[in-house]
Amino acid sequence: MSNEWYYAVEGTSHGPVSQEEFDQLVTVGTIRRDTLVWQEGMEDWLPFGRANNNQNASAMPPNAPISDTVDPARPDANTFLGALKDGFARYVDFKTRSTRSQFWWWTLWSLILSIGTAILDTMIGFGDSGPIGLIFSLATVLPTTAVAIRRLHDTGRVGWWYLLVCIPIIGWIVLIVFFCGQTQAHANQWGNPPSLE
């Protein structure tokens, strides 16, 4: 088997890189366990965690994460506070997956903060739709969309399903059913399963 690797980041393939360069990319976090990789002798692109387990046990340096299901989310992303941090940390990540817990904790945070901004706007005399609420809405529209699309990915659906939000009532009901769906237990085109809920 060749010692040269190819890897894909955000849908773009890179390489070939030598084994030494590849190990360095793993060490600095450019290549993670869910990053798709390929080298001569492999039938298809695989997430690095699987390719590493099956073909190249020495490629993962000792300080790399040891879980086979490591995802780009924070380790505490399935908690109340962790979901808020993760939502902002992956502000425009439309390419990976988020668990049901991550999505619903983020939704709860959005609701709480929306109510808080409406109260502040009312207290300073702007009614319930003043500048504070507008700034909050603008600041959270992208991460809210991103976490919703990642949740759809986690259930095995493409992110385009999120456009159902444009259809009042029926579209919203369908999306809620999708958002409540179970995590796919296996890797899909958006990566390995996120950490357990």
pTM above 0.95, yes or no: no
Q: Which two tokens stand for residue 137?
A: 């809405």
Residues 45 and 109 reside in one and the same domain? no
Residue 164 reports pLDDT greater than 60: yes
Segments forming the whole domain that contains residue 40: 5-55
Taking only the tens place, the pLDDT of each residue in 6-56 is 888 766 788 889 888 888 888 887 888 778 888 888 877 888 877 765 444
Residue 193 forms part of a structural domain: no
Residues 129 and 174 reside in one and the same domain? yes
Percentage of the chain surpassing pLDDT 90? Answer: 38
Residues 101 and 46 reside in one and the same domain? no
Q: How many domains does the chain have?
A: 2
Average pLDDT, the chain: 82
Residues 32 and 89 reside in one and the same domain? no
Taking only the tens place, the pLDDT of each residue in 50-104 is 776 544 434 444 333 333 334 566 667 888 898 899 889 889 989 889 999 999 9
Residues 20 and 84 reside in one and the same domain? no
Residue 172 forms part of a structural domain: yes
Percentage of the chain surpassing pLDDT 70? Answer: 84
Residues 105 and 147 reside in one and the same domain? yes
Residues 84 and 175 reside in one and the same domain? yes
With 0-12 / 13-18 / 19 or more C-beta atoms within 10 angstroms meaning exposed / middle / buried, residue 124 is: exposed
Residues 84 and 24 reside in one and the same domain? no
CA 68 to chain centre: 16
Q: Which two tokens stand for residue 114?
A: 């929306």
